[in-house]
C-alpha cells in the first residue's frame, strides 16, 4: 500500500472536522428529540441517547397544531415556488431572447431593485395585503413571492449561454417561441432550474418574518413561526423543542438528499459542445 | 429551385456586409459561396434562410418572392457551423424534431428520420446524445435533420470548419454524395478555396460584400475576372510580378529587359501592371529571346513527378512547378517560357483584368 502523504492526511482531517461541525447540530437535534427530559439535560451530555422515547413528538403535536402548520407550509411553498418558477422562466426567456424596446433598461431597473432589502419594503407590502383584504390568509404568503428578480437573473444568464444558433435552427424548422422555450430551453436549463427550485423552496419553507406579519391565527401559520410561538407559549423544554425543530427541518433535509444528485449531475453535464 | 438575388444589400449599423448583390443560381446544383472571412458570405446565407432580413433588394425562389417570408415558410434546411444539435435530445429525436413541429404522425416521423439516418450512415447511433458523437457524426446528424422535411434548398454554413483535416475531406465527399443522391439545390459557405474547387458545380466568389465572379471551378481558375479572383484560387498561390508597359512589352521591376507577351501588345505605354502567372504555367527553356523570363534558381523541392522551384526574377521570388525531368540546379540561371494558359495581366491599381 502506498504511504499517505502528510499533506493529504492533514487535508482529510481538516475536511472531517468541518463535516463534523456541520453535522453535529443536526445530530444533537435529532437524537435530542428522542431523549427524555433527564437525558437531554444530563451533564456531562450523552452523545448517544440512553433511553429512547417518542413522547416528545406526541406532546408537541398535541399542544400545537403542527400538522396544520405543516400543511400550510407545504401549500405556501408549493404554490409560491411553482408560480415563481413559471414567471421566472417566462421573464428570463423574454429578457434573454426576445427583442423589445427598453429590454436592457427594464432589466437594469429590475436589477437595481434587488439592492433594496426585503425588510425595507415589508411595511409597504403589509399595507398592500391589508388593502387587498388578504391579510391573515394563506394567499398572502404566496402572492408576494410569485416572482423573483434574482432567480430571473440567474436563469437569464443560463439562457444567454445557450447558443443563438439553436434558436435559429428551431426557427427555420418553424418552431414557435413558446414551443422552443418548453421543448429546448427548459430541458437544457434543467440543472439551473433544479437549483432555483431548491433554493426557492428552502427560502419559502424557512421564511419567518413575513408569515409573522401577514398571519395572526393558528389556522394560517407556517412551521417556523409556529415553532416560535410554540416555544414562547409552551416554555423552553429542550427535548420538546428538539422534536418540534426536527418536524420543521426534516422535510428540507429529505428534499435536499433527493434532489442533490440532479444538481450535481446537472453541473457535471451542463456543457454544450460546439 | 432557381434562386435569384436582385440587388440585395445588407447593412449592419455602419458596415455594409453585402453590397448590391445580384445573381441567378441554377437549380439542383451544389454551389459554393467562397470568400475571405468577413466578405458577407454567411450574411447571404442568412438572408436566404430568412434569419437576417435584407436592407434592400429582393430574393426569389423560382418565381416566388420570398424577401419578406418567415424562415419556416421558405422550405429550407439549414446546417450550422457548430451543428446546433439539441443537446438534450437523442439523435433520433433531433432528426425528428422538424417533423414534430410540422405535426407529422409519430410513426411517420420515425420512418422518415430512420431513412435519412441510413442515408448519412448514423442509423446505428440513433439513441445517442450529441455529446456522445464525434464531430463528423454530429455533422451527419445535422445534415439529416436539415434534410428530413424535404427542403427545396439546403444551406450549409462553413460545415467543415470544425473538423480535423482528414474528416474534412471525408465529409466534403459525403456532402457531395448526399447532394447528388437528393438533387436538392445546395449552397455551401466556405473560405477554403480547395474545398470549393473540389466539390462545387459553381463557385460564387465574394469580397468585401461584393460579388466577384460566378463560374464553374475550372472556369474561374482558368479565367479569373480580376486580380483578387486570380489570387484567391489556386494552390500554390499565383505568382504576382509588378511591372510597367514599354512599347507593348512588359518590363518587370528589377529586370533590365522587356518581356514580349502577345496579349499585352495593345496596352498603353507606361501603364503599371501586375503580371500574374500560375506556378504550372512555366516551362524551362534554353532560348534567351524576348518571350523568355530569365531568373536564377534559389531553391528546389522535389515532390515526385513535379519539382517546385523557387526562382528569383528581378525583384520577385517566383514559384514554378516544373517537370522533374528538367534538370535544374540551385544557383543556375534559367530561362522560362510562359504557357498560354494561366498567365494574366491586371491593372496594378484597380486589379482589373487587362489580358
Mean pLDDT of A32-60: 83
Q: How confident is the model at residue A263 (pLDDT cuts 50, 70, 90)?
A: low
Name the residue with cell 395572526. Answer: A216
* B285-299 pLDDT tens trace: 888 888 888 899 998
Higher pLDDT, A260 or A18: A18
> How many angstroms separate the CA atoms of A151 and A95, rounded?
13
Nearest to B115 by CA among B137, B92, B139: B92
Mean pLDDT of B249-265: 86
Please tell me what DSSP assigns to residue B27: T
Three-state DSSP at B161 gives: coil
Q: How confident is the model at residue A270 (pLDDT cuts 50, 70, 90)?
A: very low
Cβ distance A274 to B149 less than 8 Å, yes or no, reads: no
**Contact (Cβ atoms closer than 8 angstroms) between residue B70 and residue B50:** yes
> How many angstroms separate the CA atoms of B25 and B1, rounded?
9
Homologous superfamily of A64-269: MetI-like (1.10.3720.10)
Find the length of chain B: 355
Higher pLDDT, B264 or B144: B144
Question: What are B's interface residues with A at a Cβ cutoff of 8 A?
Answer: 49-51, 71-73, 76-78, 80-88, 97-98, 101-102, 130-131, 138, 145, 149, 162
**Pairing status of strand B333-338 against strand B292-302:** antiparallel
For chain B, what is the mean pLDDT?
A: 90
- With pLDDT > 90 as the criterion, what percentage of chain B qualifies? 53
B35: alpha, beta or left? (left if phi > 0; alpha if psi -120 to 50): left
Nearest to B96 by CA among B107, B82, B83: B107
What's the burial of A13, exposed, middle or buried (CB within 10 Å: 0-12/13-18/19+)? exposed
Contact list, A187 vs chain B (CB under 8 Å): 88
pLDDT of residue A103: 92
**Pairing status of strand B153-157 against strand B15-25:** unpaired
Question: In degrees to the nearest 10, what's the CA dihedral of B56, B62, B66, B69?
Answer: -170
How wide is the angle at C-alpha A263 spanned by C-alphas A257 and A268, nearest 5°? 135
Contact list, A269 vs chain B (CB under 8 Å): 131
**Contact (Cβ atoms closer than 8 angstroms) between residue B56 and residue B9:** yes
Handedness of CA B25, B31, B37, B42 (dihedral sign): positive
**Pairing status of strand B239-246 against strand B249-252:** antiparallel
How wide is the angle at C-alpha B86 spanned by C-alphas B81 and B88, nearest 5°? 145
| Domains of chain B with CATH codes | 3-232 (3.40.50.300), 239-347 (2.40.50.140)
Say how many Å lie between the first and final Cα of chain A, rounded: 43
The set of residues, in sequence order, having a beta carbon less than 8 Å from that of B135 and lying 6+ positions away, is B162, B163, B164, B167
**A176, containing H or E segment:** none
**Pairing status of strand B64-65 against strand B15-25:** unpaired
> How many angstroms separate the CA atoms of B81 and B88, rounded?
19
Cell numbers placing B247? 512599347
pTM over 0.90: no
| Predicted confidence (pLDDT) at residue A33 exceeds the cutoff of 60 | yes
pLDDT of residue A75: 93
Mean pLDDT of B205-218: 93
pLDDT of residue A269: 46
- What are the residue boundaries of the structural domains of chain A, listed by start? 13-53, 64-269
Q: How are strands ordered across the β-sheet holding B258-260?
A: B258-260, B249-252, B239-246, B272-277, B343-347
Higher pLDDT, A270 or B162: B162
Mean pLDDT of B86-105: 93
Contact list, B102 vs chain A (CB under 8 Å): 174
Three-state DSSP at A15 gives: helix
**Contact (Cβ atoms closer than 8 angstroms) between residue A128 and residue A65:** no
Question: What are A's interface residues with B at a Cβ cutoff of 8 A?
Answer: 163, 165-166, 168-175, 179, 183-184, 187-188, 190, 269, 271-274
Q: How confident is the model at residue A266 (pLDDT cuts 50, 70, 90)?
A: low
The set of residues, in sequence order, having a beta carbon less than 8 Å from that of B67 and lying 6+ positions away, is B54, B57, B58, B59
pLDDT of residue B165: 83
**A185, containing H or E segment:** none
Mean pLDDT of A207-212: 88
Residue among A168, A173, A272 with most chain B CBs within 10 A, to mutate: A173
- Nearest chain A residue to B142, by CA: A169
| Predicted confidence (pLDDT) at residue B221 exceeds the cutoff of 70 | yes
The set of residues, in sequence order, having a beta carbon less than 8 Å from that of B338 and lying 6+ positions away, is B261, B277, B281, B282, B283, B291, B293
Question: In degrees to the nearest 10, what's the CA dihedral of B217, B218, B224, B230?
Answer: 80
Name the residue with cell 401549500. Answer: A75
Contact list, A171 vs chain B (CB under 8 Å): 51, 71-72
* B155-195 pLDDT tens trace: 999 888 888 888 888 888 889 998 998 899 999 999 999 99
| Predicted confidence (pLDDT) at residue B99 exceeds the cutoff of 90 | yes
| Predicted confidence (pLDDT) at residue A271 exceeds the cutoff of 60 | no
pLDDT of residue B311: 92
Q: How confident is the model at residue B215 (pLDDT cuts 50, 70, 90)?
A: very high
Residue among B47, B66, B82, B84 with most chain A CBs within 10 A, to mutate: B84
The set of residues, in sequence order, having a beta carbon less than 8 Å from that of B256 and lying 6+ positions away, is none
> How many angstroms separate the CA atoms of B100 and B107, rounded?
11
Please tell me what DSSP assigns to residue A231: H
**Contact (Cβ atoms closer than 8 angstroms) between residue B148 and residue B92:** no
Query: Where are the alpha helices (H) located in chain B, listed in sequence order?
Result: 41-49, 91-102, 106-119, 135-147, 165-182, 193-199, 217-222, 227-232
> How many angstroms separate the CA atoms of A49 and A42, rounded?
10
pLDDT of residue A272: 40
Mean pLDDT of B194-200: 91
Amino acid at each position: 500500500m502506498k504511504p499517505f502523504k502528510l499533506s493529504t492526511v492533514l487535508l482529510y482531517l481538516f475536511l472531517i472536522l468541518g463535516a463534523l461541525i456541520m453535522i453535529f447540530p443536526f445530530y444533537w437535534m435529532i437524537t435530542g428529540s428522542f431523549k427524555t427530559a433527564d437525558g437531554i439535560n444530563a451533564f456531562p451530555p450523552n452523545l448517544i441517547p440512553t433511553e429512547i422515547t417518542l413522547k416528545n413528538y406526541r406532546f408537541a403535536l398535541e399542544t400545537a397544531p403542527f400538522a396544520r402548520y405543516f400543511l400550510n407550509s407545504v401549500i405556501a411553498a408549493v404554490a409560491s415556488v411553482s408560480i415563481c418558477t413559471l414567471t421566472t422562466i417566462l421573464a428570463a426567456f423574454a429578457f434573454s431572447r426576445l427583442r423589445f424596446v427598453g429590454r436592457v433598461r427594464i432589466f437594469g431597473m429590475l436589477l437595481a431593485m434587488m439592492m433594496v432589502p426585503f425588510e425595507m419594503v415589508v411595511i409597504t407590502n403589509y399595507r398592500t395585503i391589508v388593502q387587498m383584504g388578504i391579510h391573515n390568509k394563506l394567499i398572502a404568503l404566496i402572492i408576494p413571492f410569485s416572482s423573483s428578480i434574482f432567480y430571473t437573473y440567474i436563469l437569464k444568464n443560463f439562457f444567454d449561454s445557450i447558443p443563438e444558433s439553436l434558436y435559429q435552427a428551431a426557427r427555420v424548422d418553424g418552431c414557435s417561441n413558446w414551443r422552443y422555450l418548453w421543448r429546448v430551453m427548459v430541458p437544457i436549463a434543467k440543472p439551473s432550474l433544479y437549483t432555483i427550485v431548491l433554493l426557492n423552496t428552502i427560502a419559502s419553507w424557512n421564511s419567518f418574518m413575513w408569515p409573522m406579519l401577514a398571519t395572526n391565527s393558528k389556522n394560517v401559520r407556517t412551521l417556523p413561526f409556529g415553532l416560535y410561538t410554540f416555544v414562547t407559549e409552551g416554555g423552553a423544554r429542550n427535548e420538546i423543542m428538539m422534536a418540534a425543530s426536527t418536524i420543521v427541518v426534516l422535510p428540507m433535509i429529505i428534499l435536499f438528499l433527493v434532489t442533490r444528485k440532479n444538481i450535481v449531475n446537472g453541473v457535471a453535464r451542463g456543457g454544450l459542445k460546439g | 429551385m432557381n434562386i435569384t438575388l436582385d440587388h440585395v444589400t445588407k447593412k449592419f449599423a455602419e458596415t455594409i456586409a453585402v453590397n448590391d448583390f445580384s445573381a441567378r443560381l441554377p437549380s439542383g446544383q451544389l454551389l459554393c459561396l467562397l470568400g475571405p472571412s468577413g466578405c458577407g458570405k454567411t450574411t447571404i446565407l442568412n438572408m436566404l434562410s430568412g434569419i437576417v432580413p435584407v436592407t434592400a433588394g429582393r430574393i426569389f425562389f423560382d418565381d416566388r418572392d420570398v424577401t419578406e417570408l418567415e424562415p419556416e415558410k421558405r422550405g429550407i434546411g439549414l446546417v450550422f457551423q457548430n451543428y446546433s444539435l439539441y443537446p438534450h435530445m437523442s439523435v433520433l429525436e433531433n432528426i425528428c424534431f422538424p417533423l414534430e413541429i410540422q405535426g407529422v404522425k409519430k410513426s411517420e416521423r420515425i420512418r422518415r428520420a430512420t431513412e435519412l439516418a441510413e442515408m448519412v450512415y448514423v442509423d446505428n447511433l440513433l439513441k445517442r446524445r450529441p455529446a456522445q458523437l464525434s464531430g463528423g457524426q454530429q455533422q451527419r446528424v445535422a445534415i439529416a435533420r436539415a434534410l428530413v422535411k424535404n427542403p427545396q434548398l439546403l444551406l450549409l454554413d462553413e460545415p467543415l470548419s470544425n473538423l480535423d483535416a482528414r474528416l474534412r475531406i471525408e465529409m466534403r465527399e459525403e456532402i457531395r454524395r448526399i447532394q447528388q443522391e437528393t438533387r436538392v439545390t445546395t449552397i455551401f459557405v466556405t473560405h477554403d478555396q480547395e474545398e470549393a474547387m473540389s466539390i462545387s458545380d459553381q463557385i460564387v466568389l465574394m469580397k468585401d460584400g461584393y460579388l466577384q465572379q460566378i463560374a464553374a471551378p475550372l472556369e474561374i481558375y482558368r479565367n479569373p475576372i480580376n486580380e483578387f479572383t486570380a489570387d484567391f484560387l489556386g494552390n500554390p498561390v499565383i505568382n504576382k510580378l509588378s511591372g510597367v508597359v514599354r512599347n507593348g512589352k512588359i518590363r518587370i521591376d528589377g529586370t533590365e529587359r522587356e518581356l514580349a507577351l502577345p496579349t499585352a501588345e495593345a496596352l498603353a505605354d507606361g501603364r503599371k501592371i501586375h503580371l500574374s502567372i500560375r506556378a504550372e504555367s512555366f516551362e524551362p527553356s534554353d532560348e534567351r529571346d524576348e518571350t523568355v523570363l530569365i531568373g536564377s534558381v534559389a531553391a528546389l523541392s522535389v515532390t515526385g513527378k513535379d519539382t517546385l522551384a523557387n526562382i528569383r526574377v528581378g525583384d520577385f521570388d517566383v514559384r514554378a512547378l516544373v517537370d522533374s525531368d528538367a534538370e535544374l540546379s540551385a544557383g543556375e540561371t534559367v530561362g522560362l517560357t510562359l504557357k498560354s494558359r494561366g498567365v494574366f495581366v491586371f491593372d496594378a491599381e484597380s486589379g482589373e483584368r487587362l489580358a
